Amino acid sequence: MSERSIDVDLTRSSSGQVVKERIYKWLLFACAALTVFVTVAIIYTLARDAITFFDLVPAAEFFTETEWFVRGDGGNFGVWPLVSATLIITVVSAMVAVPTGVAAAVYLSEYATDRMRSVLKPALEILAGIPTVVYGYLALVYLTPALQAIGIPVGTFNLLSASIMVGIMIIPMVSSLSEDAMSSVPDSLRQAGYGMGATKYEVSTGIVIPAAISGIFSSFILALSRAIGETMIVVMAAGLRPRMFNFSNPLNNLLSSGQPMTAGMVNAVTSDATGGSATYLSMFALGLTLFVITFAMNLASDFVAARYQEEYQ
Amino acid sequence: MTRDQMTDPDSRTDNQATDGGRESLANNDLEGSDPTTDPLVDSSIDVDKSAAPSGSESRTVIESRDLDVFYDDVQALQSVDIDIPAEQVTAIIGPSGCGKSTFLRCINRMNDLVDAARVDGELLFEGKNVYDDDVDPVVLRRKIGMVFQAPNPFPKSIYDNVTYGLDVQGVDGDYDEIVEDALRRAALWDEVKDQLDSSGLDLSGGQQQRLCIARAIAPDPDVILMDEPASALDPVATSKIEDLIEDLAEEYTVVIVTHNMQQAARISDKTAVFLTGGELVEFDDTDKIFENPEHDRVEDYITGKFG
Ligand SMILES: Nc1ncnc2c1ncn2[C@@H]1O[C@H](COP(=O)(O)OP(=O)(O)OP(=O)(O)O)[C@@H](O)[C@H]1O
Ligand SMILES: [Mg+2]
């Protein structure tokens, strides 16, 4: 043993290895940097074109006025009707997707037998893979008439139907991400709960969900960001007429058509407005506003998740 | 069992056993101070003579009759018959894989959570077969607390960990008082009394295990099952837990799985030896098992000649 340790060689065998390691490191860094670069580039172009827009339309009009209409290259660009429609869709779709998605996740992670799970998980993945244009079509052609049939006086184009469909679209996202979070809660915690004489429901709601709460919150953030950015369903089912939120009769807002911010952008780009006109550039101002809203939401949710999480490691 | 019932005249025998336990604790102290009085034969294993006197008849709480357990097609327990006495410490020892944990999980039906497990035969708790159709395992587990091999506190505050059982079992009462009492009995109160709101996971491993013990005793079960509760702990924490177990046996029936012979000898009144194949080979007073076991296989196992 001792004779070996005398001539043990601790120097690097070849400098080629060092160079390779360095190349790997830089390659990996380049990929990480690319994502940052793309993000920065997007924000930069959005901001640049938005600034041009605000040269043509006063910021005060955009941020304070409650009327949005486009006529040719001009019009009135008060953003609030679009923001209110976006908020309605986000809130209503969350009301659909959050309880359903979490309940489905609890079922999959805590109640389902292995066989059940092997059927349901692929089904949810299929749901997640359906193109949104199909959801839009279903909302317009089936859901809206169905709502009318059960006596809800919705118009042909309405926010309620679009919101429900957006909610259905994001259920798989909530449920599969929440289920991942719940499944990774260590089994020893469940055992402890059952050992204390808790029922399955008590273990699921009192131990598993709190332990997985930060993962569950992240699923909400991602799903709601999706809902805010969803375009196709709302363009098809909600109509394209911007309508300011009517505070005197809040529920009525759901029954009539509306134009959320994403649909407003589609409208700007598909209209025959010329490039560089206010109508055309409004797309970038809307895009930037959407970005800020989503970003703020992510920050808020991170904060909430950090506050309430019960770490188990 | 409520605290009132503990002084109930009906349970006179239990009280005697309890008194015996207290006296012997005092003896133990004497012995500790004067080692020359220890006449034990086997010097490597220090049998706790002071534990409930052998032959004293105590009421049986848990009783198994011809108990078999299978995991799919593999048999983990073979025809186990055992009578576990009330308010004493019963140790279960045996080589790895012999079915100790399996037996423990049979008692409070934690095996229900293992899809592959199947139980045949009877396991009686207070005379009632817990595998009868009308038994609700949730109710059963409220009477039989469990402490696991690895500490598994909930990711909640220390206080909420201790009150968890009270909450799910709908116990009323002064939770602050119950929490303090449970933590005191688990020998943890002095260390955590100023940080009851901090997470149970911020404690050391030994403290976490004592927290799990406090959590198990807070709702005042009748029986406490412990699966190698000290296996992950250092000697100081282990001895704290051993002291605690001896104290617990004044009020509770304790069944403890351990790999540590000395520990079994020190803290238990009765010892059950399982050997490979899931067979209960010998079950007797702890002194008897460690000094003069009936079966050569048990002797071989205890003296380390086994496998
Ligand atoms: N969930 C399970 N599924 C299948 N087989 C199992 C399961 N749990 C235990 N077994 C088997 O049952 C037998 C007894 O296991 P058990 O865990 O009761 O042993 P043990 O005596 O507690 O061992 P150890 O001292 O290592 O903890 C082993 O052969 C084991 O492989
Ligand atoms: Mg075990």
CA distances, A172 to each of A98, A121, A159, A223, B60 (Å)? 10, 9, 21, 9, 53
Res. B121 pLDDT band, cuts 50 70 90: very high
pLDDT digits (tens, 9 = 90+) for B292-305: 888 888 888 888 87
Ranges of each domain in chain A? 68-307
When pLDDT is averaged across residues A109-114 and rounded to a whole number, the result is 92
pLDDT of residue A303: 80
Q: What is the rounded distance in angstroms from the CA atom of residue B207 to the CA atom of residue B191?
A: 9
Res. B218 pLDDT band, cuts 50 70 90: very high
pLDDT digits (tens, 9 = 90+) for A252-279: 888 888 899 999 998 888 887 787 888 8
pLDDT of residue A267: 86
Res. B10 pLDDT band, cuts 50 70 90: very low
More reliable by pLDDT, B187 or B104? B104
When pLDDT is averaged across residues B247-270 and rounded to a whole number, the result is 91
What angle, 0 to 180 degrees and rounded to 10, lies between the N-to-C axes of helices A159-183 and A114-129?
Answer: 140
In B, minimum Cα distance to A201 occurs at B168
Q: What is the rounded distance in angstroms from the CA atom of residue B85 to the CA atom of residue B222?
A: 12
Block residue for tokens 């709302």: A234
- Asked whether residue A129 carries a pLDDT value surpassing 70, the answer given is yes
Q: What is the rounded distance in angstroms from the CA atom of residue B63 to the CA atom of residue A71?
A: 87
Which one of A12-21, B230-239, B245-254 scores highest in mean pLDDT? B245-254
Sign (positive or negative) of CA dihedral A247, A250, A256, A259 = positive
Q: What is the rounded distance in angstroms from the CA atom of residue A85 to the CA atom of residue A267?
A: 15
CA-nearest of A181, A199, A201, A197 to A312 is A181
Sign (positive or negative) of CA dihedral B197, B200, B203, B206 = positive
pLDDT digits (tens, 9 = 90+) for A225-240: 889 988 889 988 888 7
- Judged by CB atoms closer than 8 Å, whether chains meet at A206 and B168 is answered as yes
Could you please state the CATH topology (level 3) that the domain comprising A68-307 is classified under.
MetI-like fold (1.10.3720)
- Asked whether residue A73 carries a pLDDT value surpassing 90, the answer given is no
pLDDT of residue A243: 84
3-state class (DSSP) for residue B84: strand
Give how far the C-alpha of residue A59 lies from the chain's centroid of Cα atoms, to the nearest Å: 27
Residue B72 alpha carbon, nearest atom of ligand 1:
4
| Burial grade of A83 (CB within 10 A; 0-12, 13-18, 19 or more) | buried
pLDDT of residue A309: 61
pLDDT of residue A308: 66
Res. B46 pLDDT band, cuts 50 70 90: low
3-state class (DSSP) for residue B220: coil
DSSP of B172-203: -S-HHHHHHHHHHHTT-HHHHTT-TTSBGGGS
| Burial grade of A26 (CB within 10 A; 0-12, 13-18, 19 or more) | exposed
Q: Which of B138, B217, B228 to mutate: most A Cβ within 10 Å?
A: B138
The pTM of the full predicted model, rounded to 2 decimals, is 0.79
- Judged by CB atoms closer than 8 Å, whether chains meet at A196 and B215 is answered as yes
Q: Residue A122 carries which side chain, given as an amino acid letter?
A: P
Mean per-residue pLDDT over chain A, rounded: 88
Q: Which of A196, A205, A308 to mutate: most B Cβ within 10 Å?
A: A196
More reliable by pLDDT, B36 or B248? B248
| Pocket residue to mutate for ligand 1, from B100, B112, B258, B301, most atoms within 8 A of Cβ | B100
Q: What is the rounded distance in angstroms from the CA atom of residue A81 to the CA atom of residue A87?
A: 10
Q: What is the rounded distance in angstroms from the CA atom of residue A25 to the CA atom of residue A32?
A: 11
Give the end-to-end CA distance of chain A in Å, rounded to a whole number.
Answer: 42
The C-alpha of A116 sits at a distance from chain B's nearest C-alpha, in angstroms, of: 14
CB B84 within 8 A of CB B255: yes
Mean per-residue pLDDT over chain B, rounded: 82
- Asked whether residue A69 carries a pLDDT value surpassing 60, the answer given is yes
Q: Which of A43-52, B18-27, B211-220, B246-255 has the lowest average pLDDT?
A: B18-27
Res. B57 pLDDT band, cuts 50 70 90: low
Q: From chain A, pick out residues whose CB is under 8 angstroms from the CB of B101.
A: none
More reliable by pLDDT, B88 or A302? B88
CB B157 within 8 A of CB B220: no
CB A160 within 8 A of CB A255: yes
- Using left for φ > 0, alpha for ψ between -120 and 50, and beta otherwise, residue A14 falls in beta
* ipTM of the complex, rounded to two decimals: 0.79
Q: What is the rounded distance in angstroms from the CA atom of residue B233 to the CA atom of residue B228?
A: 10
pLDDT of residue B224: 94
When pLDDT is averaged across residues A153-180 and rounded to a whole number, the result is 93
